[in-house]
Amino acid sequence: QKEVEQNSGPLSVPEGAIASLNCTYSDRGSQSFFWYRQYSGKSPELIMFIYSNGDKEDGRFTAQLNKASQYVSLLIRDSQPSDSATYLCAVNPGGGNKLTFGTGTQLKVEL
């Protein structure tokens, strides 16, 4: 079982819709969770992090964490063509262990 799993996509949504990206992780003791956006040919950039169960909102982005289900998601409201990118989920198990990335979900926002 992979440590961090994401559907590779592509996930296609129309402009203005809500995009929902999902991630599951295997280490129940994981403490911090991150979402990165990576445009083609560029390096990943951190867009959200979450530590506690529940929702965390930042502009059009909402991260959701459910530790009991070992599930973290990213919602993008009012999706724009500029949101088209690959979204990487990352998990830090804590205790000095390494940050672990999922393989990413490609999002396409269509006009």
Partner 1 sequence: DGGITQSPKYLFRKEGQNVTLSCEQNLNHDAMYWYRQDPGQGLRLIYYSQIVNDFQKGDIAEGYSVSREKKESFPLTVTSAQKNPTAFYLCASEPGTGGVGAFFGQGTRLTVV
Cβ atoms of 108 and 19 within 8 Å: the answer is no
Cβ atoms of 107 and 7 within 8 Å: the answer is no
Q: Rounded to an integer, what is the distance from CA 37 to the centroid of its chain?
A: 8
What is the footprint of partner 1 within residues 33-52 (CB under 8 A)? 34, 36, 41-46, 49, 51
Question: Are β-strands 105-110 and 11-14 bridged in parallel, bridged antiparallel, or unpaired?
Answer: parallel
CB of 98 to partner 1, least distance (A): 5
Closest to partner 1 by CB, 26 vs 100, is 100
Residues that bind partner 1 (CB under 8 A): 31-32, 34, 36, 41-46, 49, 51, 88, 90, 92, 94, 96, 98-104
